[in-house]
Amino acid sequence: MSMSIAAQPNLTMQSLWEATKPHIESDDFEADARYDEVIVGAGITGLVTALLFARAGRRVAVLEARHVGAVTTGNTTAKISVLQAARLQDVLDHNTKAVAQAYVEGQLEGLEWIVRYCRDHDVPVQRKDSITYATTFEGAKVVDRGFHVAQKLGLPVERLEDAGLPFPTTAAIRLRDQAQFHPLEFLAALVADIRRHGGVVIEGVRVTKVKASAKPVMVGSNRGEVYADHVIVATGMPILDRGLYWAKETPKRSYAVSFRAPGQRPDGMYISVDQPTRSIRSYGDDQLIIGGNGHVVGRHEDSTTGRVEDLVTWTKENFPGAEPTNAWSAQDYEPPHKVPFVGWMPRGRGRVFLATGYNKWGMTNAVAAALTLAGDILGGHVTWAKVLRRRITLPKTIAEGIGANLAVASWYARGWWRALARLQPVEAPEEGQGVLGREGLRPVAKSTVDGMTCALSAICPHQHAIVQWNDAERSWDCPAHGSRFAADGSLLEGPSIKPMKRLDVG
Ligand SMILES: Cc1cc2nc3c(=O)[nH]c(=O)nc-3n(C[C@H](O)[C@H](O)[C@H](O)COP(=O)(O)OP(=O)(O)OC[C@H]3O[C@@H](n4cnc5c(N)ncnc54)[C@H](O)[C@@H]3O)c2cc1C
């Protein structure tokens, strides 16, 4: 998606990665084809998984609704790090020490797999130190605990007196020798490699149905049906309702801006523990990337454009002379135990698998998931993956799950109330805006984008919450489970498999 931000007319909403990506061709769709494995989704999870199967001599097809990397992987910040802000203590707080240890082992294997793969396939990758820092007294306590937890889990972290940032910090810890790359250069290499091993990667195929009771499994899509022994759902939030993952995970969106900032970029990859988050890395000779200002998808009272502009203001204050080049946004899913869901899907008869819930640390987690799934289906022995499965639900996780579901319920009520409380007819909003209202008892979402006004039913087709306008991306976003739709109602991402209903066409 490419559009400009009001206060920064030269700044387009398109990721630096999408703007500089290598060309990737699609293979042709063949209706009724038979594969060993069908992988749904061509992000990092789907493509690494597909490659592992293709290398094992299996006939694989990756079916991608949009284009390779279109959703989160093409809009990430692509830091490949085992030190993950406060994530390790979160994992330890919600699980046993053995599970937290296994989580770290999976991350280390993911990191090394990516670095090795990039070196072997001429994908540029830079080894960088990963630094977690705080700017407040409270944040310093979080960083301090992070230091002890990382040490307890065997990571050689160090405390830093000077974080190497151009503003004061209250604490910082470092894990050396992590990595960063251009995520779409990595995906392009994976696609080429999958093809070399006889697999296909097909864009523009939206999977809408998986019939696991049939053998082989039937995979239905907008282009027709195909068949496979196994289906792996690698769509971020799983598209199928089996397992109700959309009711268990919290969809979290956040923003990033790249800047031309020659000569004043810190060398490492940074992330703050204080809110709003600031994620910092470099790219190429002169680019600086700053991420942050996240929120649960669709749950914001303010303008999302304001969140992008705030990143620009913050960066210009802290890195004088930095000039924004690209802005973007993406979402990822937070699981209740803070450890991803990876494995067979409930009611999938042992033939349908999934991987989801990386909570913004998906580079290493996607590879760990792919290695786990390959072990499950091809029969390998991945020790840490087995320990991760021995997860138990602690009372803290249950309490947080209740809180998360109450928050979803309150957003349902708030959305319906707001739409129905509005008595006057819904007028066409000004350019770049969307408004909610009603016609009779029907909630209506009306937007004007590029001079075109569209009227849609404001009810999310997934689970019937009322959508919310996102002005930075000119999209309708669902506050309940994170489905997102373009201004014309077409589906962008999330658990929905249907577009929003148009009210202004026959
Ligand atoms: C702002 C942000 C910054 C981040 N930064 C980092 C970072 O620095 N380091 C890190 O490790 N992680 C980071 N992450 C997390 C990481 O980017 C993600 O976890 C990872 O990219 C997820 O990859 P995926 O393959 O699971 O999902 P995706 O990349 O979203 O791929 C899923 C694919 O499935 C396709 N799809 C969906 N539905 C269908 C369907 N019905 N049929 C066919 N295809 C379908 C989609 O079009 C999409 O291409 C960040 C996340 C965000 C949101």
The pLDDT averaged over each successive group of 10 residues in the chain (506 residues) is 58 94 97 98 98 98 98 98 97 96 98 98 98 98 98 98 97 98 98 98 97 95 98 95 86 97 90 98 96 95 93 96 96 95 92 97 98 94 92 72 75 73 79 91 92 95 94 96 96 94 79
Residue type, 472: A
Nearest protein Cα to ligand 1, atom 31: 43
Cα 218 to averaged position of ligand 1 atoms, centre (Å) = 25
Distance separating alpha carbons of residues 22 and 15, to the nearest angstrom: 14
Cα 373 to averaged position of ligand 1 atoms, centre (Å) = 17
For residues 478 and 331, the answer to whether their CB atoms sit within 8 Å is no
E strand or H helix that includes residue 99: helix 97-120
Q: CA-based Rg of the chain, rounded to a whole angstrom?
A: 22
**Residue to substitute in 71, 108, 207, 250 for testing ligand 1 pocket (most ligand atoms within 8 angstroms of CB):** 71
Nearest protein Cα to ligand 1, atom 17: 76
Distance separating alpha carbons of residues 280 and 267, to the nearest angstrom: 10
For residues 455 and 427, the answer to whether their CB atoms sit within 8 Å is no
0.85 surpassed by pTM: yes
For residues 359 and 338, the answer to whether their CB atoms sit within 8 Å is yes
Nearest protein Cα to ligand 1, atom 20: 362
Average pLDDT taken over every residue of the chain: 93
For residues 407 and 82, the answer to whether their CB atoms sit within 8 Å is no
Distance separating alpha carbons of residues 135 and 388, to the nearest angstrom: 33
Distance separating alpha carbons of residues 363 and 188, to the nearest angstrom: 15
Nearest protein Cα to ligand 1, atom 2: 76
Which pair of structure tokens corresponds to residue 63? 């079916």
Cα 430 to averaged position of ligand 1 atoms, centre (Å) = 32
pLDDT for residue 506:
47
Distance separating alpha carbons of residues 8 and 305, to the nearest angstrom: 10
Distance separating alpha carbons of residues 5 and 306, to the nearest angstrom: 9
Alpha helices in 269-330 (DSSP H): 304-318
Per-domain residue ranges for the chain?
400-493
> Count of residues for the chain?
506
Cα 158 to averaged position of ligand 1 atoms, centre (Å) = 31
Superfamily assignment of 400-493 in CATH?
Rieske [2Fe-2S] iron-sulphur domain (2.102.10.10)
Q: How many C-beta atoms lie closer than 10 Å to residue 177's C-beta?
A: 12
Which pair of structure tokens corresponds to residue 302? 């303010």
Which ligand 1 atom is the nearest neighbour of the CA of 363?
Answer: 11
Pairing relation of β-strands 491-493 and 484-486?
antiparallel
Cα 152 to averaged position of ligand 1 atoms, centre (Å) = 30
Which ligand 1 atom is the nearest neighbour of the CA of 329?
Answer: 1
Cα 506 to averaged position of ligand 1 atoms, centre (Å) = 35
**Residue to substitute in 49, 79, 235 for testing ligand 1 pocket (most ligand atoms within 8 angstroms of CB):** 235
Residues lining ligand 1, CB < 6 A? Answer: 40-46, 63-66, 70-73, 76-79, 206-207, 234-236, 239, 254, 256, 291, 330-332, 358, 360-364, 366, 497
Q: How many C-beta atoms lie closer than 10 Å to residue 206's C-beta?
A: 17
For residues 113 and 51, the answer to whether their CB atoms sit within 8 Å is no
Cα 331 to averaged position of ligand 1 atoms, centre (Å) = 7
Which ligand 1 atom is the nearest neighbour of the CA of 497?
Answer: 41
**Residue to substitute in 332, 334, 352 for testing ligand 1 pocket (most ligand atoms within 8 angstroms of CB):** 332
pLDDT for residue 312:
97
For residues 262 and 68, the answer to whether their CB atoms sit within 8 Å is no
Nearest protein Cα to ligand 1, atom 18: 362
Which ligand 1 atom is the nearest neighbour of the CA of 205?
Answer: 43
Cα 100 vs. chain centroid, distance in angstroms? 22
E strand or H helix that includes residue 260: strand 250-260
